[in-house]
A and B are shown apart, each in its own frame.
Chain A
Amino acid sequence: MKRLTIIIAAMQLLALSVNAQNNVLAPLFDKYADDEDFTKVTITSKMFSLFTEFEPEDPETKELTEAVSKLEGLKILASDSVGNARSYFKDATTQVRKGNMEELMSIRDGKDDMLFMIKEDGGKISDLVMLVGGEHKFVALSLYGEIDLKQISKISKGMKIDGMKYLENIDNEGDDQE
């Protein structure tokens, strides 16, 4: 009985540690944890789950709240003042490609390169990564949980991160492919 308890406890610990390390950007966050050139944001599933408590009156906010409540986390690593931003972008792209993700969209906007990648399983998207590399600018964003591409536009509008404006067209892209 004692042995069984230890095994169950070990399995729970293992599950927790796998979840914590599962995010594709986790190694990047660890790498630049003490680098003050970067802005780092982490929003946990607990924060998103708090949205489920409310029943907003207007349909638009209700849809956004529902979309947000299915998310499990958001991680952002960003800087607009790094000297070798393009190498950061390359490194991050290599890192993300290792994570069994498929490319959704790539964009060249002026001097900035943007790459969107997703992890999909059984028609469900569990991870969306956006990478941006410019002359001095680097952004790595990972949104994970239950992601509905049609809701992404609402989430991206709601979060008001400018780079995510490109995500607003993703649901249309999906429609085009169908």
Chain B
Amino acid sequence: MIRSKQRIPKLASAFALAFICSLSSLAQSRTVDKFLKDYQPSQKFFLYPSTLRMINVEKHPDFYALVRDIDKLRVLTYDKNKNGFSRQTIRALSQEVAQEDYQELMTFQADGQNVHLYSLGDDDTPEGVVGLVETDDTIILTDLEGFIDLPALLKLFQGDFNFEDIAGVVNLAVQMREEIQEDKN
């Protein structure tokens, strides 16, 4: 009946995608900038409109609607052990982001995952969003420029769209990029 472990993460995944909610992020978080300055990410990648269309392998029309106004999505991944990060790291990051003018959108904690989403700006003129994600081994910081269609996200969520497929394609793309870089080196 209640499959909380399956359903709630799916809900959270959908809302986690919504961290990119209708935002033109000309403003960027000083906290994220400082963190990037202080620590070297193990992975850093950018998704542009062309990439976002490409990862829609099933050519789902609502996914096109979802991402068509996204200008750029930046994702920074950090290895917790390598950098000596602890639970306190994400807490401190959350507090620092909140001390800027960011407002909390959602938090999610389950199975060692810890997600915090914050947005900047008012409802009419949203200016930016910061996503902080902690897993057992990694800390991921996300930053978006552009705009996402929330009703399209709701439609995808109501339907059978598999968000994990998209995550899989992104992982594959990152892996391929790393292999190419290794070959170059």
Residues of A within 8 A of B (CB): 36, 38-44, 46-47, 49-54, 56, 61-62, 64-65, 68, 76, 78-80, 109-110, 112, 132, 137, 139, 157-163
Contact = CB atoms under 8 A, between A and B. Distances in A.
A47 B105 contact: yes
Given A52-B123, A54-B22, A112-B1, A160 B109 contact: no
Contacts of A54: 22, 149-151
B103 A159 contact: no
A80 B8 CA distance: 12
Interface string B4-28: 1101111110010010011000000
Interface in B101-148: 103-112, 117, 119, 123-124, 126
Contacts of B107: 40-42
Nearest to B22: A53
A132 B3 CA distance: 12
B4 A44 contact: no
Contacts of B149: 54
Contacts of B180: none
Nearest to B129: A50
Nearest to B102: A46
Contact of B22 (A50, A158, A161): A50
A51 B108 CA distance: 20
B127 to A, nearest CB: 13
A76 B104 contact: no
B88 interface: no
Nearest to A56: B151
Interface SS of chain A: mixed
Contacts, number: 116
Contacts of A36: 112
B122 to A, nearest CB: 9
A44 B18 CA distance: 13
B97 to A, nearest CB: 13
Interface stretch (B31-39, B42-50, B154-162): B154-162
Contact of A41 (B12, B103, B126, B158): B12
B57 interface: no
11 contacts: A41-B11, A41-B106, A42-B108, A43-B15, A46-B105, A49-B123, A61-B151, A61-B155, A64-B154, A161-B11, A162-B1
Contacts of A80: 2-5
Nearest to B119: A46
Contact of A39 (B8, B21, B119, B158): B8
Contacts of A157: 158
A163 B22 contact: no
Contacts of B103: 44, 46
B158 A47 contact: no
A65 B109 CA distance: 25
